Amino acid sequence: MSLDESRDADFATRAIRAGQSFDPTTGSVIPPVYLTTTFVQDGIGGFRGGYEYTRGGNPTRTALETQLAALEGGDRAFSFASGLSAEDALLRALLAPGDHVLMGNDVYGGTHRLVNRVHVPWGVGLDTVEMGELDAVRAALTPETRVVWLETPSNPLMKITDIAAVAELAHANGAIVVVDNTFASPYLQQPLALGADVVVHSTTKYLGGHSDVLGGAVVLNSGLEVRGEDLADRVGFIQFGVGAVSAPMDAWLTSRGIKTLHVRMDRHSANAQAIAESLVGHPKLAKVYYPGLPEHPGHELAARQMRSFGGMLSIELHDADAARRFAESTELFQLAESLGGVESLVCYPSEMTHASVRGTALEVSPAVVRLSVGIEGVDDLMSDVLDTLARV
Ligand SMILES: *Cc1c(COP(=O)(O)O)cnc(C)c1O
| pLDDT (0 to 100) of residue 359 | 82
Q: What is the pLDDT of residues 70-125, one digit of tens each?
A: 999 999 999 999 999 999 999 999 999 999 999 999 999 899 999 999 999 999 99
Q: Please identify, by atom number, the ligand 1 atom nearest to the C-alpha of residue 111.
A: 10
Pair 18, 62 in one domain:
yes
Using pLDDT thresholds of 50, 70 and 90, give the confidence band for residue 271: very high
**Do the strands 345-347 and 334-335 form a parallel or antiparallel pair, or are they unpaired?**
parallel
Helix (H) or strand (E) holding 199: strand 198-202
Residue 3 has pLDDT above 60, yes or no: no
Same-domain pairing of 205 and 67: yes
Clarify whether residues 244 and 294 are in a common domain: no
Residue 304's domain spans which residues?
261-391
List the 198-202 sheet strands across, edge first.
Answer: 76-80, 216-220, 198-202, 176-180, 145-151, 100-104, 125-129
DSSP secondary structure letters along 296-320: STTHHHHHHH-SS--SEEEEEESSH
Question: What does the pLDDT look like over 307-317, one tens digit per residue?
Answer: 999 999 999 99
Q: Which residue has the CA at smallest separation from atom 12 of ligand 1?
A: 108
Tell whether pTM > 0.85.
yes
Residues 318 and 348 reside in one and the same domain? yes
Which amino acid is residue 217, in one-letter code?
A: A
Is the C-beta atom of 214 inside 6 A of ligand 1? Answer: yes
φ/ψ bin of 180: left (φ > 0), alpha (ψ from -120 to 50), beta (otherwise): beta
- Please tell me whether residues 298 and 221 are part of one structural domain: no
Q: What percent of the chain has pLDDT over 70?
A: 98
Ligand 1 neighbourhood includes 153 CB (under 6 angstroms): no
- The CATH code of the domain that includes 23 is 3.40.640.10
Mutate-to-test residue for ligand 1 from 84, 179, 210, highest number of ligand atoms within 8 A of CB: 84
The tally of domains found in the chain comes to 2
Query: CA quadruple 38, 39, 41, 46: dihedral positive or negative?
Result: negative
Question: Are residue 124 and residue 226 in the same domain, yes or no?
Answer: yes
Residues 203 and 289 in one domain: no
Residues 84 and 176 in one domain: yes
Q: Angle at which helices 83-94 and 231-242 pack, to 10 degrees?
A: 120
The size of the chain, in residues, is: 392
Residues 41, 17, single domain; the answer is yes
Pocket test for ligand 1, best of 106, 108, 185 (most atoms within 8 A of CB): 108
Q: State if residue 254 touches ligand 1 by the CB under 6 angstroms criterion.
A: no
* Cβ pair 302, 310 in contact under 8 A: no
| Binding site membership of 106 for ligand 1 (Cβ less than 6 Å) | no
The pLDDT assigned to 1 comes to 45
Regarding whether 291 and 233 lie in a shared domain, the answer is no
What is the distance in A from the centroid of ligand 1 to the CA of 108? 7
Looking at the fold, whether 127 and 161 belong to one and the same domain comes out as yes
Q: Whose CA is nearest to atom 5 of ligand 1?
A: 83
235, 258, 281: which is the final residue of a domain? Answer: 258
End-of-domain residue from the set 258, 276, 294: 258
Q: Which ligand 1 atom is at minimum distance from the Cα of 86?
A: 9
* End residue of a domain, out of 203, 235, 258: 258
Over residues 130-171, the pLDDT tens digits come to 999 999 999 999 999 999 999 999 999 999 999 999 999 999
Atom in ligand 1 nearest the alpha carbon of residue 84: 9
CATH number, domain with residue 333: 3.90.1150.10
Could you tell me if the CB of 63 is within 6 A of ligand 1?
no
What's the whole-number average pLDDT of the chain?
96
Count of other CB atoms within 10 angstroms of residue 97? 9
Please check whether residues 304 and 369 belong to one and the same domain. yes
| Ligand 1 center from residue 61 Cα (angstroms) | 19
Distance from the alpha carbon of residue 210 to the mean position of ligand 1, in angstroms: 15
